[in-house]
Amino acid sequence: MLKTHTCGELRLTHDGQSVKLAGWVNRVRAQGGVIFIDLRDRWGITQTVVDVQSAPEAHAAAEKVGREDVLQIEGTVRARPAGMTNPNLATGEIEVEVRQLRVLNAAKTPPFDVSSDGKVDEALRLKYRYLDLRRHRLQRNLILRGKITKAIRDYLYERDFVEIETPILFKTTPEGARDYLVPSRVHPGKFYALPQSPQQLKQLLMVAGFERYFQIARCFRDEDQRGDRQPEFTQLDLEMSFVEREDVLNLIEGLMIHLVQVAAPITGCQLVTQPFPRLTLQEAMLKYGTDKPDLRYGLEIVDITDLAAQTGFRVFAENAAAGNPTRALRIPNCGHYSRKQLDELTEIAKSAGGKGLAYIALESGDSGQVKSPIGKFLSVEQMSALIERMGAQPGDLILIASDTHATVCAVLDTLRQEFAARLGLADPKKIAFCWIVDFPLFEWNADEQRWDPSHHLFTAPMPEDIPLLDSDPSRVRGQQYDLACNGYEVAGGSIRIHDRALQEKIFGLIGLDVEDAKQRFGHMLEAFEYGTPPHGGIAPGIDRLVMLLAGEPNIREVIAFPKSQQAADLMAGAPSEADPHQLAELHIRVVTAPEER
């Protein structure tokens, strides 16, 4: 080894020892005849000192050293002089007096400062990702990620799960996104699809009798990018036989608690919901306006449809008559908002699909005064009933949305998140999980005039709702569950269909004809005829989980080589054009539309 110790290892107990260190130059400072070089590796930083008197050759070499050069030094550990210790550094009580210095590799001046986590343009960070990855924040995140992955494996191996790999080159596995296709050279005109998840294969592993399977699986979904999405991402894919919903939820709840315990010493994160609250989808929508509520804070939505309907405000009355709700949020201590600030909130409501936003601002103190454009449509009694329903205090602001259920939810969800940010309520160190259950099995796709599965094709209906498949599919509940955390969906799963006839019926309802279904999923239907255990599973997204445990705002911060928002690798330049020869072999001709040229 070119080093005897890491740059994070030496302490006073090593005083007097001769050591070799190797790493990157974090910082250089010259002071009189002495040059201080802070040497960095992934374990830490050690101050080394090159004195012109005792090591003239090393000193001459040190004079030429620059940031990010890779050095090897040999020297002796010594206690730092009194008053010169650095309490912020684990190695801050010692320094290494250098005898010999070797430049193993010189570095060009990096395009940004690697020694700090200061803000750098993201495109530049992605282009020089190997330098970005040297920085403390990403080193910490990726080391955390490795520990989380190991903790997942340990937890599941202890519970007798088998880790099994499934193919990347496969057939379409619909999870609601577009497939990435890979052309076959050997089979002209045919394509593999990269798995959107290993869903079908894990179910087939249950047919095969493994009973408890998991995989740290890469999944590929071609969909529009957002902070919590990447074209390829990693999930803990898991499936169990002879289980009921409760078994899966308990296993995963225990795992999540364990993962927070593993992350806590590294990131200071803290679990604030235990046991995990369970909400039906309907409760979640009514209280939080979303199926992935952030429970780190309250700001719960309150239904005021009945009170609003009695007022003289036309919008409320019309919505009530049409069966639409009126719901409101109480924002503490924002009653002083100016006209301009309130107009801004209306714009936010509009960006979420609302037509407008009504408000009631309560003056602080005990004047009992309110400021509200809809005030004139409410009697004194109606106003006080509304204020009482909201639990509003002097100084509070009440924001009211009246529209279809979906729009009211979207508007109030957006405003709830907006105020959590403004009022500093969403502490990134807090981790608040909750389960969402009782989803409808289908969603109506008005464009295509058919039912779409709200989870995926293989989710089982609640047994008592099976008769409704014929009479009223909209009322069939699925045996599915989502795990939400801090406003993100971090896992989704279900108890599956394990019966060919039922599976075929679901295919029919979502508009897959028999031939199509056979062609795409014939292998599953056939397998179901050879003794299929009842089974179910789930798939927590590892990128999102690590992002939340690390307190990061997007998953690119916890992925070594992520794609940009435009699904491009800015470092290697992918995607890129293919060689004509390669295309010919793959039987592919590229036709570029005129507007893309």
The residue ranges that bind ligand ASP (CB under 6 A) are: 175, 197, 199, 492-494, 537-539
The least distance separating ligand ASP from the CB of residue 196, rounded to whole angstroms, comes to 7
The least distance separating ligand ASP from the CB of residue 82, rounded to whole angstroms, comes to 59
What is the sign of the dihedral through the CA atoms of 253, 283, 223 and 568? Answer: negative
The least distance separating ligand ASP from the CB of residue 168, rounded to whole angstroms, comes to 15
Contacts of residue 245, Cβ cutoff 8 Å, sequence gap at least 6:
437, 479, 481, 495, 536
Radius of gyration (C-alpha) of the chain in whole angstroms: 30
The least distance separating ligand ASP from the CB of residue 218, rounded to whole angstroms, comes to 12
Considering beta carbons, is residue 199 or 241 the nearer one to ligand ASP?
A: 199
Considering beta carbons, is residue 213 or 451 the nearer one to ligand ASP?
A: 213
Judge residue 43's burial from the number of C-beta atoms within 10 Å of its C-beta, 0-12 exposed, 13-18 middle, 19 or more buried.
middle
Residue 413 CA to residue 409 CA, distance in Å, equals 6
Residue 97 CA to residue 49 CA, distance in Å, equals 5
Considering beta carbons, is residue 197 or 407 the nearer one to ligand ASP?
A: 197
Considering beta carbons, is residue 218 or 278 the nearer one to ligand ASP?
A: 218
Count CB neighbours of 322 within 10 A: 9
Residue 431 CA to residue 434 CA, distance in Å, equals 10
DSSP string, 317-351: HHHHHTT--EEEEEETT-TT--HHHHHHHHHHHHH
Considering beta carbons, is residue 360 or 538 the nearer one to ligand ASP?
A: 538
Considering beta carbons, is residue 326 or 480 the nearer one to ligand ASP?
A: 480
Q: Which of 284, 161, 170 is nearest to 216 (CA)?
A: 161
Considering beta carbons, is residue 215 or 414 the nearer one to ligand ASP?
A: 215
Residue 22 CA to residue 41 CA, distance in Å, equals 8
The least distance separating ligand ASP from the CB of residue 494, rounded to whole angstroms, comes to 5
Residue 167, CA atoms < 13 Å, CB-side half-sphere? 10
The least distance separating ligand ASP from the CB of residue 289, rounded to whole angstroms, comes to 23
The conformational region for residue 323 under phi > 0 = left, psi -120 to 50 = alpha, else beta, is left
Q: Which of 66, 62, 65, 70 is nearest to 100 (CA)?
A: 62
The least distance separating ligand ASP from the CB of residue 93, rounded to whole angstroms, comes to 50
Q: Which of 265, 287, 332, 215 is nearest to 434 (CA)?
A: 287
Considering beta carbons, is residue 23 or 537 the nearer one to ligand ASP?
A: 537
The least distance separating ligand ASP from the CB of residue 521, rounded to whole angstroms, comes to 14
Residue 91 to residues 6, 14, 87, 140, 422, Cα–Cα distance (Å): 11, 11, 9, 18, 39
The least distance separating ligand ASP from the CB of residue 237, rounded to whole angstroms, comes to 7
The least distance separating ligand ASP from the CB of residue 414, rounded to whole angstroms, comes to 25
The least distance separating ligand ASP from the CB of residue 503, rounded to whole angstroms, comes to 15
Considering beta carbons, is residue 175 or 179 the nearer one to ligand ASP?
A: 175
The least distance separating ligand ASP from the CB of residue 493, rounded to whole angstroms, comes to 4
Considering beta carbons, is residue 252 or 301 the nearer one to ligand ASP?
A: 252
Q: Which of 327, 399, 308, 317 is nearest to 360 (CA)?
A: 399
Considering beta carbons, is residue 177 or 583 the nearer one to ligand ASP?
A: 177
Q: What are phi and psi of 504, to 5 degrees?
A: -65, -35
Q: Which residue is nearest to ligand ASP (CB)?
A: 197
Residue 480 CA to residue 245 CA, distance in Å, equals 8
Considering beta carbons, is residue 197 or 326 the nearer one to ligand ASP?
A: 197
Count CB neighbours of 544 within 10 A: 24
Tokens of 277: 């609250």
Residue 321 identity (one-letter amino acid)? A
Contacts of residue 306, Cβ cutoff 8 Å, sequence gap at least 6:
none
Q: In what order do the strands lie in the sheet with 433-437?
A: 162-163, 212-220, 232-241, 535-540, 488-495, 480-485, 433-437, 278-280
Residue 107 CA to residue 522 CA, distance in Å, equals 57
Residue tagged 């309150």 (tokens): 302
The least distance separating ligand ASP from the CB of residue 550, rounded to whole angstroms, comes to 22
Considering beta carbons, is residue 469 or 491 the nearer one to ligand ASP?
A: 491
Residue tagged 């070799």 (tokens): 20
The least distance separating ligand ASP from the CB of residue 250, rounded to whole angstroms, comes to 16
Considering beta carbons, is residue 177 or 385 the nearer one to ligand ASP?
A: 177
Considering beta carbons, is residue 377 or 528 the nearer one to ligand ASP?
A: 528
The least distance separating ligand ASP from the CB of residue 232, rounded to whole angstroms, comes to 13
